[in-house]
Each structure stands twice: as C-alpha cells, then as structure tokens.
Amino acid sequence: MKENKYDNESFFKQYSQMARSVSGLKGAGEWHAFQKMLPDFHGKRVLDLGCGFGWHCRYAVEQGAAHVIGIDLSEKMLNKAKEINNSPLIEYKCLAIEDFTYEPDSFDVVISSLAFHYLESFDNICSKVYQCLTTGGSFIFSVEHPIFTAQSGQNWYVDEQGKRLHWPVDNYFSQGNRTTTFLGEQVIKYHKTLTTYINSLIRSGFEITALIEPEPKKTMLENVPEMQDELRRPMFLIVSAVKK
C-alpha cells in the first residue's frame, strides 16, 4: 500500500517548517555531498522521483537541464512546488514512484532524494529507472542509511539523564516495513540492507560510480552543536551509478 503521509494536514505543516523545506537545498545537511555527485545537467532530460517541493528540479533547470519531470505522490507537496519552484521547463506529476513508466531512452539523468526508504521494493525501482534511462545515463539517489532504518525506533540509545550513549542496531537482516515516528506522526518505512541497495543496482545493469555516507558540512558542525552527533553514526547513504 502506498502511504501518503505528506497529504496529511498536520504532517504537511510540520514538514513545511523543516529547514530543508524553508531554505531549500542549503537547509539540507546532506545536500553538499549530493550536489558533488550530480552530473553536468546541460541540455539533459531529468526525472526526479519523489520531488517534494521541487528544489532539486529547480536546481537541475538552473544548471541547464533541457526538461525536468518531478513526480510525487502528494498533491500538497506538488502544489507548493508549483508555487515556489515553478519553471516552464519543469513538469510536476502527481504519481506514486511505484507507478511511473516511461519509454526507453526517455531520460539522461534520474535523481531521487530521501524517498526510496518509503518504498518496499528497490529492485522494482532499479529496473524501471534502468529502462527509462539512456545508455550512459546517470542515476543518483539518497536514502536513509541501512544502519539508520534497521530499528523501527530510529533513535539514539540514551541513559536515564537522556544522554545519547550510542546508536542501537538490531534486526538488520530482517528487511521490510518499520513503523516509526517522524514529525509527530506514525510513518511506515522499509528497511533494506546495503547488500540489497548495491546488488540490485549491479544486477539491473548499473555500474556504481560513487558511494557516500555524508558528514555534515564544517559550517553546520560549528553552528549547530547537535550536528556533532551526526559524526557518531551514518544517517544517509548516497549512491551514483551509470547505465552500462
């Protein structure tokens, strides 16, 4: 079942107040790493899976993309995208990522930011992206790190004073759904192992070109004290691959 939490009024309101929603890409802790893994967008046909407010779509256009399609399950997110990140070169479509289909050779670049951990099957995504990309085309995505998604609690293990002792890992090889709390709401995510992410790509015909577990930028580490804890365990995984 495709959960559409972002169309829930209170969840959407909370999400709209996050730094990454208000300030766009520069408000996202992992953007500096994601940005470095993106290819040259000049003249490229781009697909953004789970585009949300459309910040990445707009970035692609600003970097010279010829045409960008952003798909998202949430109408509320897309309405906001059309309001704040509009462009004649961007087409926003209300669609679940699981349901997109495009003809072979439709895109030169496919990107996705923090969306795939909401989807049950990564294999399915890989084969669909492979099919619609041109040969030599790029696929770049970020997800919550398997170490982050393994336990449904998705939280630090703390002592009685609330001090963060360490990050607890458990149930790693039990892939599947995890009910967790995000922005005060129950959200369903799907834990996948690193093995699943990497081998699904390779088996689908992609060559891995880089893998990054991003660390916060130096300025964020200096200005936001709790960012120091982000050096204690990986939260995100960013992978880039090309269609062979």
Residues near a copy of itself, by CB under 8 A: 147, 150-151, 157, 165-174, 193-195, 198-199, 202, 207-213, 215, 231-234
CB of 187 to a copy of itself, least distance (A): 21
Residue 47 falls in which region: left (phi positive, over 0), alpha (psi -120 to 50) or beta: beta
Residue number with CB closer to a copy of itself (39 or 168):
168
In angstroms, give the least distance from the CB of 173 to a copy of itself: 4
State which residue, 63 or 209, has the beta carbon closest to a copy of itself: 209
Both tokens assigned to 23: 């300030």
Q: How far is the CB of 163 from a copy of itself (least distance, A)?
A: 12
Residue 223 φ then ψ, to 5°? -95, -25
β 133-144/107-113 pair status: parallel
Cβ distance to a copy of itself smaller for residue 20 or 145: 145
Task: Please state the closest distance from residue 126 (CB atom) to a copy of itself, in A.
Answer: 14
Residue 73 Cα distances to 7, 33, 96, 200, angstroms: 9, 26, 5, 24
Residue 106 C-alpha from the chain's centroid: 21
Amino acid occupying residue 204: S
DSSP 132: H
What is the Cα–Cα distance from 28 to 213, expressed in whole angstroms? 14
Q: Considering the complex, what minimum distance in angstroms separates the CB of residue 198 from a copy of itself? A: 4
Shortest spacing between CB 169 and a copy of itself, in angstroms? 4
Q: Which is nearer to a copy of itself, 12 or 206 (CB)?
A: 206
Closest to a copy of itself by CB, 1 vs 165, is 165
Quote the least distance from Cβ 18 to a copy of itself, whole Å: 23
Which residue from 240, 244, 221 is spatially nearest to 232, judged by alpha carbons?
Answer: 221
53's CB contacts (< 8 A; 6+ apart) are: 21, 24, 77, 80, 81, 84, 85
- Assign 9 to helix, strand or coil: helix
Output 3 or 213, the one with its CB closest to a copy of itself: 213
**Smaller CB distance to a copy of itself: residue 16 or 209?**
209
